Copies of this chain bind each other. A is one copy, B any other.
Amino acid sequence: MAAFEKIVPVRFEDCDPAGIVFYPRYFLMINRLVEDWFAEALDLPWRQMHAVEHSGVPTVRIEIDFRAASRHGEMLRLALDVVEVRRSAFSLNIWAEGVETRDIRFQARQTFVYVSTGGGEVKSKALPEDMAARMQAMIVGEEKTA
């Protein structure tokens, strides 16, 4: 089971003249998933993070394999797992599969860095302790000790 998941439709706006998802649109789906994960699982809505705390989580690296085309009208299961948590960065596995067909559409490993955006500069900083702890607790196979 994934640490977090959402089921989303492939919309008209996502599809190109060949009738399949235009790959840059997958990154919007990924971004929404991560935004929802922050709000619902980490208790840090991005509005709070950006507008109040002047912080952000820009992506610094993506490796992604697109395995199969997705078509207009399909339902996709988007899911993420935490892979690694470091001082000011974290890495996720993120993937999508067809809800009906259960086949993988894309499989990504994405690394984010926690930054301060105040004063017009983007500078990495340590993840807040409780956010790091919550992420750490979601790492697959992680042994948890009280």
Contact B17 A24 (CB under 8 A): no
**Residues of A48-86 contacting chain B, CB below 8 A:** 48, 50-51, 56, 58-66, 69, 71-73
* A103 CB within 8 Å of chain B: no
Q: What residues of B have a CB within 8 angstroms of the CB of A31 in the complex?
A: 11-13, 24
The dominant DSSP class at the A interface is mixed
Contact B58 A73 (CB under 8 A): no
- Cα of A55 to Cα of B65 in the assembled complex, Å: 20
* A4 CB within 8 Å of chain B: no
* A139 CB within 8 Å of chain B: no
* A133 CB within 8 Å of chain B: no
Q: What residues of B have a CB within 8 angstroms of the CB of A28 in the complex?
A: 13, 24
Contact B50 A17 (CB under 8 A): yes
Contact B50 A60 (CB under 8 A): no
Q: What residues of B have a CB within 8 angstroms of the CB of A63 in the complex?
A: 61-63
Q: 28 pairs across A/B with beta carbons < 8 Å?
A: A12-B16, A12-B50, A13-B28, A13-B32, A15-B16, A17-B50, A18-B56, A19-B50, A19-B51, A20-B58, A24-B24, A24-B28, A24-B31, A46-B72, A47-B71, A47-B72, A47-B73, A50-B72, A51-B73, A58-B66, A58-B69, A59-B66, A60-B65, A61-B66, A62-B62, A62-B64, A63-B63, A69-B122
